[in-house]
Amino acid sequence: MMPPKTDQRWLKLVDGSLQHKFSCVPAGLMISRVRRELQADGSPASRDRSVQEVYSFFQRYESILTDDIKAVFGQEV
């Protein structure tokens, strides 16, 4: 199970303070895009929107992102 959306590691992943080289290329591309968008607009609303987008993506594709989720969040998956 993934950690809840309120877990601060989601925000750290989105803002770049938590680095990870994704084995799933689409996930890495999505994170890169979200980080660029957040650099352009770092408002709290933009951060919340970014976390929601990343969380939803990971939730939808959890079955193929299991290794990346374990690497980022530990054995909570």
Residue 58: the pLDDT is: 96
What is the amino acid identity at position 59?
Answer: Q
- pLDDT (tens, 9 = 90+) of the chain, 77 residues, equals 789 999 999 999 999 999 999 999 999 999 999 999 999 999 999 999 999 999 999 999 999 999 999 999 986 54
Residue 48's CB is within 10 A of a number of other CB atoms, namely 13
Prediction pTM value: 0.90
Residue 23: the pLDDT is: 95
